[in-house]
Amino acid sequence: MKERQKKGSIVSEYKPKVVVFGSRNAINDSAVKKEVENLGKFIAGENLVLANGGSNTGVMGHMAKVVFESGGETYGIGLHEYEPYDSKTHRSYTNHEGYISHWERQRRLIEIGDIFIAFKGGFGTLHEIIDIYLMQGLAEIKAPLILIGDYMKNFQLLIDFFEKEKMGRHMQLGSNIHYVKTAKEAEPIIRKHIEKLKKENYYGPDFYPVMGPEEIYNHIRLNSQPYYIAFENVPMKVLPDVFPSNRFRSSKQLGAYIKDHAKGKKILDMGCASGSIGLVAAKNE
């Protein structure tokens, strides 16, 4: 993912996203649960956006709940067939996208991240960590990867094993992987990186307010299959080949912007009839 720069007041409205990897299984470790809660409160307090795998259980679900209840924004990037969006069970997600394939869901989850953090998890979490690790080594990702808790030292053991077998010489640990014991120790690393992004006027590759129709269309076409998003708590199907591609995902951002800036005011005519912005108007009279 390339970092891009653009001056202008609209860029200042971009909110960096913190992607948190972790298990969807129940949290049986009270220490892990406490650190998940501490990080969630920090993310909300710093006005950052939480992004994760979109589950309503385990580390993912609990983190989303904490951030949401602390007044923060949450982004779920899930698997539609495995855990389809439901406005009740996924109520802690202010944004939700559901993908047909694991690969496209993984691509989107990595694309959306401005910083990556991992808690205790299984094979899925390990896969996500290795993806980030390899992409850092290939200079495709500049964002830090923070591994929280003693459990994550097992990743170091895996790297040591490859190096011992002379199979990992190209996988030397870089300065952008950080092992910390607690969420508190992760805070200065996060703050430092976010401050760097702000100084560079950085915005993510899916920040549609600064993109034209062609750019939006080409971005959405990175998906080879249709996918789903929660639009005003209603699951909507997005067809990547439809042009203009401001349907649903892009107009959702515009709709949220209008909704926020029109609080306490009357809108005479949004001029959208039954389109997606019209849906926003109808549900927020």
Q: Given this model, what pLDDT does residue 148 score? A: 94
Nearest to 253 by CA among 195, 214, 211, 282: 211
- 277 plus 198 within the same structural domain: no
| Structural domain total, the chain | 2
Q: Given this model, what pLDDT does residue 84 score? A: 80
How far apart (Å, rounded) are the C-alpha atoms in residues 148 and 120? 8
Domain containing 157: what range? 4-203
Give pLDDT tens digits for 224-272.
Answer: 888 888 877 778 888 887 765 545 555 566 666 666 766 776 554 445 5
- 38 plus 117 within the same structural domain: yes
Q: Given this model, what pLDDT does residue 251 score? A: 58
From residue 239, how far is each of 10, 173, 254 by CA, in Å? 27, 40, 19
Q: Given this model, what pLDDT does residue 119 score? A: 93
Q: Of 203, 220, 245, which residue sits at a domain end?
A: 203
pLDDT digits (tens), the chain, 285 positions: 444 444 445 677 899 999 999 988 878 888 899 999 999 999 999 999 999 998 888 999 999 999 999 999 999 999 988 888 887 888 899 999 999 999 999 999 999 999 999 998 889 999 999 899 888 888 888 899 999 998 888 887 887 787 788 776 555 555 688 999 999 999 999 999 999 999 999 999 988 888 888 888 888 888 888 888 887 777 888 888 776 554 555 556 666 666 676 677 655 444 554 455 555 554 555
Q: Give me the amino acid identity at 73.
A: E
Q: Given this model, what pLDDT does residue 7 score? A: 46
By DSSP bridging, strand 17-21 and strand 115-118 are parallel
Q: Given this model, what pLDDT does residue 267 score? A: 53
Q: Given this model, what pLDDT does residue 86 score? A: 83
Q: Of 152, 173, 203, which residue sits at a domain end?
A: 203
Q: Report the CATH number that the domain containing residue 26 is assigned in CATH.
A: 3.40.50.450
- 216 plus 196 within the same structural domain: no
Q: Given this model, what pLDDT does residue 9 score? A: 54
- 218 plus 173 within the same structural domain: no
Length of the chain: 285
- 150 plus 195 within the same structural domain: yes
- 45 plus 169 within the same structural domain: yes
Q: Tell if the pTM clears 0.85, that is, is over it.
A: no
Q: Of 171, 203, 235, which residue sits at a domain end?
A: 203
> Are 145 and 176 within 8 A, CB to CB?
yes
Q: Given this model, what pLDDT does residue 261 score? A: 67
- 148 plus 220 within the same structural domain: no
- 98 plus 10 within the same structural domain: yes
- 222 plus 193 within the same structural domain: no
Instruction: Specify which residues 178 forms β-bridges with.
Output: 146
